[in-house]
Amino acid sequence: MVYVNARFLTQPITGVQRYALEISRQLVELMPSIKFVAPQNILHQETARALGVEVIGSRTGHAWEQIDLPALLKTRNSPLLINLANTAPLLYWNKVSTLHDIAFEKFPENFSWQFRTAYRLAIPRMMKTSLKVLTVSEFSKSEICTAYQLRPEKVSVVPNAVSSAFRETPASASERYILAVSSISRQKNFHGLVEAFGLLRQDTHKLYIAGAMNKIFADSDLARKIESNPRIRLLGRVSDDELANLYGGADAFVFPSFYEGFGIPPLEAQACGCPVIVSDAASLPEVCGDSALYCSPYDVNDIAEKIGLLISTPELARTLREKGRANAGRYNWRTSAMRLLEAIGKLQCQPQASTA
């Protein structure tokens, strides 16, 4: 019997939770005997019903994960536990754990000291006590193996993919624009993008920014730059359907991030037929291959130059659209879930050895 830690159903959806949700939807079809367990404070009830989630324990949050969950499993002969959302019960050894990246080490300023401290204590233990570690790219695998001194064969790559909500549909926009999407944090390099957009000598396109706005207004320097440029529009949080329409209507999608374990937004844009510009850093060259136009995230002039080139060269835009569609098609959740099952299948056929 295989169990899945479904605590992610109690959390708001970000990239990590979306990964867990999509993989779980595939797992329940590929392995009907799989069991999902979660605490009582589930936010996504419809998904929980579809997965047949069993609610267990009296606690919530980390206490549920560290106390209630392993206690239940031990009463059921300690089955294999799959953890998909960066955390896991530390003292339970028969487990597979997922770590998307180590951004909390590379960009600690983006996280509260409580979060950094908790992860710096928990993640090494989670890596040590897991039979197998899953991550989303070869880049992240290399980073994780180096940071925690893991053998490469202990880490399997199970990549992200694109939700079915993101697909090409007829789109009409009242004005021409460049799109940027993400949470607003230093590693995403919105400062560089806003500065680069200000350097462009053009009056044909606006810059639309979709995502949570709270951190923009907490950063007085970024807020001032945005407010001083009437060609920048802040859209706030948008639904998947709204985002798909924004991708479809944009002349370019720009993602100049310093650090990504994978980077789903460029694939979403490509699936919607939008040409993309991404940074030449971290996992993005691996994920995008030759389907994107690359810029240096450290050079605002280069970012501006690549934006100007794409919006002024129709043939380049057509080429990137075609290559982007093909690239987005390389990833799908069913294939990723099958990779996960292959990894745990090999694990179950092998005698348990050192977890280092």
CATH (domain of 199) = 3.40.50.2000
Q: What gap in Å lies between CA 171 and CA 162, rounded to an integer?
A: 19
Q: Are residues 241 and 132 in the same domain?
A: no
Q: Which domain holds residue 288?
A: 177-328
- Distant-in-sequence, close-in-space partners of 227: CB < 8 Å, separation ≥ 6: none
Q: Are residues 109 and 13 in the same domain?
A: yes
pLDDT at 349 over 90: no
Model pLDDT for residues 87-108, shown as the tens digit of each residue: 999 999 999 999 999 999 999 9
Q: Are residues 117 and 191 in the same domain?
A: no
Q: Are residues 12 and 142 in the same domain?
A: yes
Q: What gap in Å lies between CA 263 and CA 182, rounded to an integer?
A: 10
Q: Are residues 188 and 244 in the same domain?
A: yes
Q: What gap in Å lies between CA 55 and CA 40, rounded to an integer?
A: 6
pLDDT at 16 over 90: yes
Q: Is residue 168 part of a domain?
A: no
Model pLDDT for residues 43-66, shown as the tens digit of each residue: 999 999 999 999 999 999 999 999
Q: Is residue 190 part of a domain?
A: yes
b/e map 242-257, b = 16+ CB within 10 Å? ebbbbbbbbbbbbbbb
pLDDT at 25 over 70: yes
User: Average pLDDT for residues 275-287, to the nearest whole number?
Assistant: 98
Q: Are residues 41 and 91 in the same domain?
A: yes
pTM of the full predicted structure? 0.93
Q: Is residue 355 part of a domain?
A: no
Distances (CA, A) of 143 to 99, 101, 139, 157, 158: 11, 8, 6, 12, 15
Q: Is residue 169 part of a domain?
A: no
Q: Is residue 172 part of a domain?
A: no
Q: Are residues 78 and 201 in the same domain?
A: no
Q: Is residue 194 part of a domain?
A: yes
Q: What gap in Å lies between CA 76 and CA 51, rounded to an integer?
A: 20
**In this predicted structure, what is the pLDDT of residue 135?**
98
Top pLDDT among 237 and 215 is at 237
Q: Is residue 166 part of a domain?
A: no
Q: Judging by beta carbons within 10 Å of its beta carbon (0-12, 13-18, 19+), is residue 215 exposed, middle or buried?
A: middle
Q: Are residues 323 and 337 in the same domain?
A: no
Q: Is residue 200 part of a domain?
A: yes
Q: Are residues 118 and 150 in the same domain?
A: yes
Q: Are residues 80 and 124 in the same domain?
A: yes
> With contact defined as beta carbons under 8 Å apart, do 274 and 267 qualify?
no
Q: Report the SS3 class of residue 206.
A: strand
Q: Are residues 200 and 222 in the same domain?
A: yes
Q: Are residues 92 and 208 in the same domain?
A: no
Number of domains in the chain: 2
> With contact defined as beta carbons under 8 Å apart, do 111 and 104 qualify?
yes
